[in-house]
């Protein structure tokens, strides 16, 4: 019986430690983990050619994430079918309301199909990838 009690104590101590250790890994790996849905939503609405690059239109909603210059950030990447690529970083407004913004991505893009990836981090991170038609 003493062995059974020791085993129960070991399980009672080890299981919560393992669960706590794995929870941040599960949530930082891109999924909501044990805490439900993410607080950041991103949607690429389209892109159009502009002088010296392209303009990507995004709609997003994010919850504020900490303090300091690196507490929130956004990243947009664009590549056309001819291999031209570019990216741009921006600072999103994370205040738990829907925002629409246009991000300029410099590059020598050509008219036609292109791929866009947008990634935003506030309290947590989320992104969207979409094929667009540049004109």
pLDDT value of position 23: 46
Which of 87, 116, 90 lies closest to 101 in space, CA to CA? Answer: 90
Q: What are the CA-CA distances from residue 52 to residues 5, 87, 91 (Å)?
A: 72, 13, 21
pLDDT value of position 99: 97
Collect the ranges in the chain with pLDDT lower than 50. 11, 13-29
Judged by DSSP in three states, 57 sits in strand
Give the tens place of pLDDT for each residue, 18-30.
Answer: 444 444 444 444 5
CATH, range 38-134: 2.60.40.2550
Judged by DSSP in three states, 42 sits in strand
Which of 86, 74, 77, 83 lies closest to 113 in space, CA to CA? Answer: 83
pLDDT value of position 68: 72
Judged by DSSP in three states, 12 sits in helix
Query: Where do the structural domains in the chain lie, given as residue ranges?
Result: 2-34, 38-134
Q: Is the pTM of this model over 0.75?
A: no
pLDDT value of position 102: 98
Q: Which residues, 6 or more positions from 96, have their beta carbon under 8 angstroms from its beta carbon?
A: 39, 61, 62, 63, 64
């Amino acid at each position: 019986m003493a062995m059974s009690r020791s085993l129960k104590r070991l399980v009672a101590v080890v299981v919560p430690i393992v669960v706590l250790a794995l929870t941040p890994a599960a949530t930082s790996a891109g999924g909501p983990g044990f805490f439900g849905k993410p607080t950041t939503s991103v949607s690429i609405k389209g892109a159009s050619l502009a002088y010296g690059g392209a303009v990507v239109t995004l709609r997003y909603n994010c919850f504020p994430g900490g303090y300091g210059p690196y507490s929130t950030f956004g990243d947009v990447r664009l590549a056309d079918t001819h291999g031209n690529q570019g990216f741009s970083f921006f600072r999103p407004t994370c205040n738990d309301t829907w925002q629409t913004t246009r991000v300029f991505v410099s590059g020598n893009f050509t008219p036609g199909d292109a791929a866009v990836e947008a990634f935003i981090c506030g309290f947590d991170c989320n992104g969207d990838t979409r094929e667009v038609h540049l004109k």
